Chains A and B, each alone.
Chain A
Amino acid sequence: MKLRDPAHLVSPRAIAFWTLQAAFGWIFILVVQLLWFVVSADHADLRFTALVLTVLFAAAHLIVMPRWRYRVHRWEVTDTAVYTQSGWISQERRIAPISRVQTVDTERGPLEQLFGLANVTVTTASAAGPLRIHGLDRATAEALVAGLTEITSRSEGDAT
C-alpha cells in the first residue's frame, strides 16, 4: 500500500525564490566570516579553511535544496480533502478533510511578491494541523483560495 504524490507541483519560480531566500542566510554568515578574516591576525589557516568550508556548504545547499524541494512540494485539493507534501531531507504529507477546514489564508512576503508567488495556509481546529503550500504562483493561489472557500462554505458543523 502506498500513498501517491499530490497531483500538482508548485510554480517553477519557487526554485529561484528558495535559492534567494537561503542565499540571504548564507550571505550573512559569509559577511561575518569575511570580517573575521580581515580583522583577525592569528589562526590564518583556520580562518581560511572555515571560509572555504562555508562557501562549499553554501553552494551545495543552494544548488541541491531548491531543486529537491521543488520535486517534493506538491499539493492537491479534491471535493473531500486537501493534501499537501513538503520538505526535502525530512518530508511530510498532510491530509485534512474539507469538512474540518476552518480558515484559508494566503500570504505574500516581500521576496515572494518579487517572484510573483504566494503561499496558502489551510488551518483546521487542531493547532498541529495547518497545511501550508509554499511557492504557488499568484493566480493559482487566488483560484485555490476562492475554490476552497466555496467548497468549505458548503459543509456544516463546527469542525472540531
Chain B
Amino acid sequence: MSVSTTTQDASWRRLSPRMLLVLPVRELGRYVPALLGLVVAGRSLDDGQWWWGPLGVLGVIALSVLRWATTRYRITPVQVQLRTGLLNRRTIATPADRVRSVDLTASALHRILGLAKVDIGTGSQDKENGLSLDSLPAAEARALRTELLHRSAVGSPDVPAAAASEGLSTADAVAHGGDDTELARLDLRWVRFAPFTMSGVLGAAVIFGVGSRLVDQFGIEADSLGPVRGALDYLERSPIWVDVLQGLLGFVAFVTVLSVGGYVLSYWGFRLSRHARGSLHTTRGLLTTRATSIEERRLRGIELSEPLLLRAVHAARLSGITTGLKSGEGTAGGSSLLLPPAPYTVVLEVAAQILRDPAPVEVSLTAHGPAARRRRFIRALVPALALVAAAGVAIWAGAPPWLALPAIATLPVAVMLAADRYRSLGHALAGSFLVTQQGSLGRRRDVLERDGIIGWNLRQTFFQRRAGLASLTATTAAGRQEYTVTDVPLPMALLFGTRALPGLLGDFLASDPVPATSQPANQPTSQPAQAAHPGD
C-alpha cells in the first residue's frame, strides 16, 4: 500500500486499480436474488436469455476499466481538480478553501480490498458538482481528508503524522494521538432504543416491497411455497382475533429485529471526536464504515430531535446544522448525524460539548401563550371533528354504526396531541444561540448560532393575523436553511428578533402604538428612496 505517497505534490493522480474489482463483484451480487429465486421456486428463467447476464458483467468490467483509465485527480495549493470521461471530458475544479466536509465511505467490499470512497462536499446544492473519488487506498483517503480539511483551516500544507493516521475504523481510532478529544462513543446498551425509531417499520416496508417484486418477477405463486401455504392454512383454521393478535405480535417482533439489526449495522463503533485543529469527526458502521468530518467553523448549530416514541423512553438523537450540508428528514443517517438515538442525559452532555455551552439545550423555553395554545387545539380538533361528522353522515347513509367508534376515538387523541404540541412549543435565546422547539410526534429543538442568521421572514396567515400571532423564520445558509419560531405573539416575535440579531429589525420598528399598517401611501409613483440609487 502506498501510505508513503505524498499528497502534497500537484501531479495528476489515479484512483486505486483495485476499484476495478468493486463494480463487477457488486454486479454479480445482483444476480444472487435471481439465483435464490431459481433454487426456491425450482424454475428457470426463459431459455435463450441466459447469456445476457454474463454479457452485462463484461460490459460492466469494460466500463470500470474505462472509468479508471480516464479518471484523474489532483490537489493543487488552491484547487481540487477532478477529470473524468473519455469522449465527454469533464474537469471539475473546486477551490480548496470551499471544501466543507470530507466523507470516507467503505462498503464491506471496499474494506476487503483496503479501499475507501472519498466524497468532498463543497457546499454546492448541485449534486453534479460534488467531487467523489471512488475509490482510493484507505490510507491515502485518510491522508487526503486530513490535508483537505486542515489546509483550509490553517493554511499550512504540512500534516503531522498523528493526524494522517486518523482512523477510518475504530481500531485505528483507539490508537489516536493527543490532538483528538473523544466526545462520545457508542454504548451497546443504546441498542435498546432501536425499536423506538421508525427504521424497523421502514425496513419491513422495503423488504416487503422487494420481496413482492421478486415473487412477481419470477412468476412464483406465493401460496405455492410450502411455508406460506402452511401459514395460510393455519390462519384459516384459527379464530380471527387470534390471527390479529398473532399478526401484531409477529409484526412487532419482525420490526424489532430489523431495527436492532439496522442500528447495529449503521452505528456499530460510533465515535464522535473533536480534532484540535477545529473539526468534528464521526466514524461508524459495521459492514459499511463511514467517516465524516465537519469543520467546526461551518457548524452553525445542532438539531436535537425527540420523536414521540424515543421521548417515551427518554432518548433523543442529535444532528448538526452545517453550512453547505443539507439536513432534512432523510438524513438521519446522513453526514450531518452527530449522535445516534441515545439516552437524553448523554445527548445533553454531548450537545453541550459540541456547542461549548450547555445553556442552549438546558435553557427553559418561553411559552407562546393562550392564543398559540388555542390554535394548537383548533388545528388538532377540526380534522378530528370533520372525521366524526363524516362518519355520522356515512352512518346516516347506511354504513354500519360501529364506524362511529374509531372516529370518536380520534377526539381524545387529538386533544392529547394538541396539549403536547403546545407544551413542546417554545423559544429562547441562550448565549450566542437562538433556540426554537416545536412538534409532538416529531419534536425537535433547533439550536442555531445567531451569527449564522442571514435574514428574517415574518409570516402571518389570515387566521394568525386574527389571533395576533406570527411565525418568525430565521433564514440561514446551513442545514434546513430556515428555522422557525411558530405561532408566537407578534410583539414577542419582534422583541425576540431584535434581541437575537440587534440592528436588523430596528430600522423598521414603529415603537409608537399608532397602527402603522395600511396607510395607503398617497403618492402613486413608487420612486425608490435615496438609498436605492445613491449615485444620483
Interface residues, chain A, with chain B CB atoms under 8 Å away: 1-12, 71, 76-81, 83, 89-97, 100, 124-129, 131, 136-137, 140, 143-144, 146-148, 150-151, 159-160
Contacts and interface: CB of A to CB of B under 8 A. Distances in A.
The list of the 7 closest CB pairs from A to B, nearest first, reads: A128-B482, A129-B475, A96-B455, A125-B477, A126-B475, A147-B532, A4-B510
A147 B529 CA distance: 10
Contacts of A95: 455-456, 458, 504-505, 508
A3 B455 contact: no
B481 interface: yes
Contact of A124 (B454, B516, B517, B519): B454
B155 interface: no
Nearest to A93: B458
Contacts of A150: 533-535
Contacts of B172: none
A8 B532 CA distance: 11
B293 interface: no
Given A9-B521, A144-B532, A151-B534, A92 B475 contact: no
B400 interface: no
Given A12-B524, A126-B476, A148-B532, A89 B462 contact: yes
Contacts of A4: 508-510, 516
A40 to B, nearest CB: 26
29 contacts: A2-B513, A3-B458, A3-B508, A3-B510, A4-B510, A5-B516, A5-B517, A5-B519, A8-B526, A71-B520, A79-B531, A89-B461, A90-B462, A91-B465, A94-B456, A95-B455, A95-B504, A96-B456, A126-B477, A127-B481, A128-B480, A128-B481, A129-B481, A143-B528, A148-B532, A150-B534, A160-B323, A160-B454, A160-B477
B526 A9 contact: yes
B333 interface: no
Contact of A136 (B495, B507, B526): B526
A147 B531 contact: yes
Given A83-B508, A94-B456, A160-B323, A147 B534 contact: yes
A5 to B, nearest CB: 6
A125 B504 contact: no
Contacts of A79: 531
A89 B465 CA distance: 10
A148 B490 CA distance: 29
Contact of B535 (A11, A127, A146): A146
Chain B CB within 10 A, most for which of A12, A128, A151: A128
A1 B460 contact: no
Nearest to B491: A1
Nearest to A128: B482
A9 B461 CA distance: 21
A131 B529 CA distance: 18
A6 to B, nearest CB: 7
